[in-house]
Amino acid sequence: MSDAPIVESSGIWKTKALERHIALRLTYKRMLEWYDVVAGVTNADWTAAQTAISSRPGSILADVHPIYRFLNEGTDTALVQICELGLYLEAFRTDPAYPTIATDLISPKFASTMFELAIAYRWRRAGGTVELQPSAAAGRVADFCATISDIPFLIEASNIPAETFELLSFRAPLLIKRTASSYLKDDSVLVVRFQVPTVPEGSWEQALVGAIKNCCYEVSGPGWETRRHASKEFDGLRIDVERFSPGELPDATQEDPWDVRADQITEEKPHKLLLRILVRLPSGDIDSASRIIKKLIREMKQLSGVRNARVVLLDITGIEPNALQLRTDELREGLRREITKKPPLACVWLVSRMWTTEMRYAYWGLYVPNPNSTYQLPQSFLDRFVLNERSWDFLGEIEIRHTTEEDARRSFLGRQPTFEGYIDRW
């Protein structure tokens, strides 16, 4: 098959695909086909809405839908994300649930739907006969059904979201920085301390912006020389704004040992600090094992009353980028305590989506069978699944030849956009 370009494209994704397809070990023609498949699930109104969001002042990366972002980026990960999703959509194009899947992909359900497709595709490649979103008991709908050795397994596939971009601890420093930047002065330093005893429920962003504006005006408006400190409490949170001369600025680690330096603004030439943002966060966050077990309990309820063999798959990338590094003793005990209560539940899979040295996304994880269940996945199926994931490139349709870790690393680096000294840095 010829790999000559078939179109002239001005879009960054297609331009970068032409530039990077050899390094990614993909054909340019195939990449364009996958791009068109993914673009086909979008529509003009949705695209216009996403464009408006991306152009809105103060918007951040996470405000834009992932598909819109991937279709308009040229990074290797964006190229592979689109190709991967295109592959899954091609594979399930004739499935009766395809229209629903396409709608879900451009909705807030993107992450869970992408996970559903990725795992359903892999179960099919490992020998299962797969149907997406089949009906279950009591009007429920499973994510997919896989028939293996004549036994239909109903699968509930769900992800535990990272929530990073929605967290107050992530968004608050951005809002503070944007709002306070209008009040900076060349001859002083503005220090904003944000105390978060407990995370408030509901919307807090507008109140935070208003509090910052009020405090910053007090220490920046007329007569600010005699009013260098202002504070405001709202929704149980507290903002303190103080202006210092450069020589008066306290050391963040010594004077404010409870603070985390969240962000700052400096002038490069001459190098001069203008704004420092300090955040005090709530303590006692729920550990990852507790979050996983609570999520498992919720997912088991989704198929309660279903007597068929069941499997729960959890994408835990959001809280554990590498599922193989989980503290397994405590987690396994908690998982088994829950799953043994449900004899129809064959097993639980905990997986993380990882970018590998093959420049592909792979799912690695933890398999926990239910010792009390009469339903067990055949070992031959499990072996094929693991072998495919570790040794087969689904996109390139080629075998992954394993080498030493060092050889894999250098091969990966050698396929990156090159500049002098790049590999030496590693």
Please give the chain's pLDDT, 426 residues, in tens: 334 333 333 489 999 999 999 999 999 999 999 999 999 999 999 999 999 988 887 676 778 999 999 999 999 999 999 999 999 999 999 999 999 999 999 999 999 999 999 999 999 999 999 999 998 776 778 999 999 999 999 999 998 875 554 566 667 887 888 888 888 877 788 888 888 877 676 678 888 889 999 999 888 877 777 788 899 998 888 899 988 877 776 655 444 444 455 566 665 545 567 788 888 766 544 467 777 888 888 888 877 777 789 999 999 887 777 887 776 677 888 888 899 998 889 999 999 999 988 999 999 988 999 999 999 999 999 999 999 998 999 999 999 887 777 776 677 666 666 433 333 332
Burial of 404 (0-12, 13-18, 19+ CB in 10 A): exposed
Q: What strands lie across the sheet with 151-159, from one edge to the other?
A: 129-132, 144-148, 151-159, 309-315, 345-355, 361-369
Question: Alpha-carbon Rg of the chain, whole angstroms?
Answer: 26
- Encoded tokens for 313: 């798959």
3-state secondary structure at position 146: strand
- Domain positions in the chain are 1-91, 97-149+286-426, 164-280
Q: Is the pTM of this model over 0.75?
A: no
Q: Helical H runs in 235-324?
A: 252-255, 288-302
Beta carbons within 8 Å of 59's beta carbon, 6+ residues apart: 53
